[in-house]
Chains A and B, each alone.
Chain A
Amino acid sequence: MRKLTSLVLLMAFVVFEAMAGGYQVRLQGQKQTGIGLIGTPFAYGASSIFYNPGSLSFMKDKYSFSAGVSPIFATAVFRAAGSDYTAETDNPTGTPFYFYGAGKITDDMSVGVGVYTPFGSSVTWDPDWAGQYLIQDISLQTIFIQPTVSYQINDKIGLGAGLAIATGGVELNRSLPSPVNGHFNMSGNTTAIGFNVGLYLKPSEKFKVGVDYRSKITMKIENGDTKFTDIPSALAEYFPASGNFNAELPLPANLDVGLAYDFSDKFTLAAEINYVFWSVYDSLIIDFKENNERLADSRNPREYQNSLIIRVGGEYRISDKLHARAGFYYDPTPTNEKYFTPETVSLNTMAFTLGLSFMPVEGLSIDLSYLQLEGLEDDRTYEPDNFGGTYHTRTFIPGIGVSYSF
C-alpha cells in the first residue's frame, strides 16, 4: 500500500486532455486501445480490472501485471461566427496512465487492484483570445484506485466487482469582462467513491460476451480556492483576492456491452457499445462561499445528453510472438447544442486505432497502440454568452505498455 501511495502522489501532477465524449478518457489498456478501445468481451489479464472485472477471473496465469502510458497530443481550432478571427489551443501533452496487478487466490477467484485515469481534460487557449471570458484554460484530473474481486462461476460465466476510489482536482482560469477587467482562478480537490461491476460470458470457446457497468461518481469539491486578481481598486471589496467555493462535477456512469468472435485461431472480430449517462452533467455551479451584490454564484448550464459510442475492432495473431489489432469507433458529442463551451471542445468524433503486441518470452507482452481522433468540424454556440463559431479538433495518441504474467 505504501508503494501505491507514493505512485499516486507522483502521478498527481499528471494532466491529460479530453479526446472526445466530454471529459472521459478511456485509455486504460494498450491492447484494448489497439482494438478500438473495446474491452468487455476480452480477458486480457489484469487490465480487465477496468474494462470488465468479470473477465479477470479468466486470467490464465496465477499473477498478472500490466502498466502503460498514452501521451495525448490534442489540438482544437476555432473560428468565430461571422468573422475571420481564429484561435487554436496550445494544450500541454497529457499522459493518462494505468497500472494493474492481479492474482488468483483460488482456481476460480482472482483479486487485484488497478490505478488508472478515466476522466480528465486539459485545454489551454491563449489568455487574450476571444473566448477568454468563458475559459482561458482548464485542467481536470482524476486518478482512480480500484480494488477488485472476480469470481468464475463456471467455465462459461465470470462475475466481478470493484470499489472505485476516485481522487481528483480541477483548476480553471477565466478573464472577467469589463468593467471588472480582472482575472479569476479556481482550484480544488476531492475524493469520492463508486463501483465497477462486470459480467463475462463464454457461450462457446469462440464466442465471448461482456457487460460492464461503472457507476456515476460525483466529485464534490468543498472549500476549493478562488482567487481574483487584477481587480480595479474601486471593485476590490466585491472580488476578494482569496476565497472559497463549492462545486460538483459529475463523472458519468458507463454501461458497456461487447461481443467478440474468433473466426479462426488467428482472427477475432469484436464490437461494443458504450452507453454513457452524460445527462448527469446538467450545469457547472460555482457556489461562492461569500456572495455580494456583484458576486453571485456562477451557474453555467451544460445540459449534456446521454451518448452511445459504437466500436468495432479486430485482432490478427500473426504468430505466437506477434499480435496486431485495429479498430474504429464513432463517439457522438454529449454536449447540448445551446451550451457548447470551449472549455470542453467535444465534437462528434471518428477515431481509428492500431495496436501491436510483441511477446519475446512466455508471459511478457510489450504492447503498442496508436489512436487518432477526428472531431468533425462543426458550428457550435454557447448561447448564454453568445459565443459561437466553427470548431475542429484532431488528436493523436501513441501508447506503450507492458504486461507480465506468471
Chain B
Amino acid sequence: MKFKYLIYITIIGFLFSCKPEVDEFSLSSGSADFSTYVSIGNSLTAGYASGSLFRSGQESSYPSILAMQFQKAGGGNFVQPLMEGEFGILPGKLKLGYSTDCLGTTSLAPVPDQGQLDAIAPIGYTVNNMGVPGAKSFHLLAPGYGSLAGVPLGLANPYYARFASSEQATVIGDAIAMAPTFYSLWIGNNDVLGYATSGGVGDTITGINTFAYALNTIITAMNATGAKGVIANIPDVTAIPFFTTVPYNALVLTQQAQVDALNAAYGPLGITFNLGQNGLIIADANAPAGLRQIKSNELVLLTVPQDSIKCAGWGSQVPIPDQYVLTETEINNVQNAVSAYNSTISQLASQFGLAHVDMNGKMNDLKNGLVYNGETFTSTFVTGNSFSLDGVHLTPKGYALVANFFIEAINQKFGATLPTANLVEYPANELP
C-alpha cells in the first residue's frame, strides 16, 4: 500500500514539474489612451539616419518603436509615410567604406552611398508619423509648408509635401485631423542646429519668443483635441558627435622644419607651434589679422575637409573657414538658446500635463556611456552605437534607446506600465 502511495507522489511530482513560469508583465496604459497615436517633430521623429530618410530607417524610427509598445496596451495602427527604397528622395546617404586620403592612407569612414532615389510625389494616404526632416518649431504651423508646387521653388518642404493633406495644410492641422488620443512632440532641434551645423554663418537661431509662441500654440491646439502627450527637450550640441569628433588640436606637426616655419610666420601674433598636436588656426573676423588659434573649448565640425588640413595647409598656413568652426561665442549663442528652449519646454510640459523627457540630460549621460544588456551606448562617432554616420541622427539602436526614454517618462507621468523595447534587436552602424 505504501509503495502505491509513493508512486502517486512521484506522479504528482512529475506533473508539478512542467516548465516554470515567471509572472507576466502587467500591461497598462494608465491614465493615457494610446488608441490613436500621432508623432510630431523633425528628422529625428521621421527616422532620418546617415544623411537620409529611407525605408528601413523609418521602420526603426522612435515613434514606430513606441507605437509597437503602445499596441501592447491598447494602441492602434501606426502609419508612416514610408519611402519605397533605401535611398530616400534626396541624395546624401552615407555608408561606411574605405577611402584613401591625400597622404595615401586608407581608412574606414563614412562615404557617399549612391542608389535609386524615390520621386517626390504625394503618397495619397494619411499618416500617424508627422516627423518632417528640416522642420523648425514654427514650420509646424506654417500653411503651405507642404505645398508640392512650392518644393521646386524652395518654399516648401519636400518631406512634408509627400503627405500634406493639401497645398495650404499645416503639420499641426494634419495632426489634429488624425483625431489623436495621444501625441509625442520633439521639436526645436533645427531651431539651433541650422545655425550650429553651419558654423554659425548659414542660418539664424530661432528667437526664444518665437519658439515659445510656436510651442505654446502647438500644444494648446493639440491638447484642445483632448489628447494627452509627451514632449522631449533639446540636446546640447556638445553631446552630438557632429561637433565633438574632430579635435580642436587636429593640426599634427611631425617635422621640426614645419614647426619653425609656422613659428616664424605666426610669431608676431603670439601663436606658437610644437611637434605633435596643435590647435588649428581658424578664421575669425573679430581677431587681429582676421585669424587666431582655436581655443580648446571650441568645436570643429565633422564636415571640415580633413584632406585640406593634412595636405593643403588648412589650420596652419590657411585658416579654417568660419563655416567649419563653432567659436566660443557661437557655442554660447547655441547653449543659451537650448537652455531657454528647454525651460520653455519644461514649463509648458507641467502647464499642459505632458510627460517630459529630459533628452538633453540623457544625451549628456551618453558622453560617459550607458550600458544596457552588455551593450555600451556612447556619443562616440561611428562606434558608439548611438549616432548614425551623419553624426547628428541616431542609429536604429539609438532610436530604440530614445523610445525607451519616452516610455520611461510616459510610465511615470500617466501611471502606465508600457514595456521597454528590446535594444538587442536593433542594429547600429555595421562595420564592413
Contacts and interface: CB of A to CB of B under 8 A. Distances in A.
Interface of A: 73, 75-80, 82-86, 88, 128-134, 177-179, 181, 232-235, 316, 318, 322, 324, 352, 354, 356, 370, 372, 374-375, 377, 384-387, 390-394, 396
B373 A178 contact: no
Specify which of A130, A352, A356 lies most central, judged by the most chain B CB atoms within 10 Å of its CB.
A130
B255 interface: no
Given A84-B72, A234-B432, A392 B397 contact: no
Interface of B is mostly: loop
A318 B23 CA distance: 42
A386 B17 contact: no
Interface in B1-34: 2-3, 6, 9-10, 13-14, 16-17, 19-25, 27
Nearest to A180: B431
B382 interface: yes
Interface string B402-432: 0000000000000000011110100111111
A338 to B, nearest CB: 14
B149 interface: no
A316 B5 CA distance: 14
B197 interface: no
A181 B395 CA distance: 15
Interface of A is mostly: strand
A15 B108 CA distance: 44
B428 A178 contact: yes
Contacts of A387: 372-374
A375 B22 CA distance: 11
Given A85-B419, A179-B430, A387-B373, 12 more contacts: A76-B20, A80-B420, A130-B424, A131-B373, A133-B424, A179-B428, A233-B432, A234-B432, A374-B20, A392-B21, A393-B20, A396-B14
Nearest to A235: B431
A377 B22 CA distance: 7
Interface of B: 2-3, 6, 9-10, 13-14, 16-17, 19-25, 27, 72, 108, 370-376, 382-383, 385, 397, 419-422, 424, 427-432
A170 to B, nearest CB: 20
Contacts of A77: 19-22
Contacts of B6: 324, 354, 356
Contacts of B383: 179
A184 to B, nearest CB: 12
Contacts of A133: 373-375, 424
A373 B161 CA distance: 63
A381 to B, nearest CB: 11
Contacts of B14: 396
A377 B19 contact: no
A78 B22 contact: yes
Contacts of B431: 179, 181, 232, 234-235
A386 B419 contact: no
Contacts of A82: 419-420
Given A178-B428, A179-B382, A83 B419 contact: yes
Given A83-B419, A232-B431, A372 B16 contact: yes
A329 to B, nearest CB: 15
20 contacts: A80-B420, A83-B420, A83-B421, A84-B25, A86-B22, A132-B424, A133-B424, A179-B429, A179-B430, A179-B431, A181-B430, A232-B432, A233-B432, A316-B2, A356-B6, A372-B16, A384-B371, A387-B374, A391-B22, A392-B20
A232 B420 CA distance: 29
B419 A84 contact: yes
Given A181-B431, A234-B432, A354-B6, A377 B23 contact: yes
Contacts of A73: 17
Nearest to A385: B374
Contact of B9 (A129, A354, A392): A354
A390 B22 contact: yes
A385 B371 contact: yes
A130 B19 CA distance: 20
A179 B17 contact: no
Nearest to A178: B428
B3 A318 contact: yes
A394 B424 CA distance: 27
Specify which of B14, B20, B421, B422 lies most central, judged by the most chain A CB atoms within 10 Å of its CB.
B20
Closest 10 CB pairs of A and B: A133-B374, A385-B374, A232-B431, A394-B20, A84-B25, A84-B419, A396-B17, A178-B428, A177-B375, A392-B20
Contacts of A131: 373-374
Contacts of B374: 131, 133-134, 177, 385-387
A354 B10 contact: yes
B373 A232 contact: no
Contacts of A386: 370-374
A238 to B, nearest CB: 11
B2 A318 contact: yes
Given A130-B424, A386-B373, A372 B20 contact: no
Nearest to B19: A75
B23 A234 contact: no
A129 B420 CA distance: 15
A178 B397 contact: yes
A178 B16 CA distance: 41
B266 to A, nearest CB: 35
Given A84-B72, A85-B419, A234-B108, A178 B20 contact: no
A388 to B, nearest CB: 9
Contacts of B370: 386
Contacts of B422: 80, 83, 85, 130
A395 B378 CA distance: 40
Nearest to B423: A130
A354 B375 CA distance: 45
Specify which of B3, B22, B23 lies most central, judged by the most chain A CB atoms within 10 Å of its CB.
B22
A46 B262 CA distance: 88
Contacts of B10: 354, 370
Given A84-B419, A85-B419, A394 B23 contact: no
Contacts of A233: 432
A209 B16 CA distance: 35
B423 to A, nearest CB: 8
A178 B375 contact: yes
B371 A232 contact: no
Nearest to B431: A232
Contacts of A80: 420, 422
A138 to B, nearest CB: 15
A362 B397 CA distance: 69
